[in-house]
Amino acid sequence: MVRQSRGECDLGCLSLLRSLYEEPAIPRGVYLEVVQRGFGFPGSLETEKTMEEDWLKVRSVSNKAGVMDLMRRYGISLRNAETVQLALEDKAELALADEAEVRDILEEYGVKVRGRIGVLIEAAKRGKISPKEAGKAMRRLVETGYRVSDNVLNEAYRLLGEEQ
């Protein structure tokens, strides 16, 4: 499982991810952005701690030319291209990504994608958190600037059994 993150990891999301997924990896570029350049921002210390605990792996992509090709072909950032390339190299069945451009490219390559809303729904369905907690976390995400369409949000609430 490959994870894309910008460091906005709040609401205990890394501990939730830990309860749901084994052996996640992030590209080195994401690590640099989140932990080193993003030091002190939400998620930076939590991300670094999970790496020190040897749960979250930082990996460099092998095919640098593939990264450059993805950047040129799709007009995406280096960090996003590394996320896609690492998922392809690892033959990941699942990638965690919120950005539409990354999600679309991964799906084009046959990789299943889940965003933060999907993780919350999965956590509720697997009994890691209650549907009410998942709904509350989704509302906090939106309140803190997480961008999601009303249609997606309404469908998520419906899946949780919370009509809005």
pTM here is 0.81
3-state SS class at 62? coil
Contact (Cβ atoms closer than 8 angstroms) between residue 164 and residue 157: yes
What pLDDT does residue 140 have? Answer: 87
Greater pLDDT, 9 or 128: 128
pLDDT (tens digit per residue) in 30-80: 888 877 777 766 667 777 777 777 777 888 999 999 999 999 999 999 989
For residue 137, count CB atoms less than 10 angstroms from its CB and return exposed for 0-12, middle for 13-18, buried for 19 or more.
buried
Closest among 160, 119, 121 to 1, alpha carbons compared: 119
Domain ranges for the chain? 2-114, 118-160
Which tokens belong to 143? 């309140």
Determine the residue type at 62: S
Alpha helices in the chain (DSSP H): 13-20, 28-31, 44-52, 64-74, 78-89, 100-108, 116-125, 131-143, 150-160
Whole-number CA gyration radius for the chain: 16
7 pLDDT more than 50: no
pLDDT band at residue 2 under the 50/70/90 scheme: low
Contact (Cβ atoms closer than 8 angstroms) between residue 96 and residue 120: no
pLDDT (tens digit per residue) in 111-142: 999 988 999 999 999 999 999 999 998 998 88
Q: Which CATH number fits domain 2-114: 3.40.50.1010, 3.60.20.10, 3.30.70.20, 3.40.50.150?
A: 3.40.50.1010
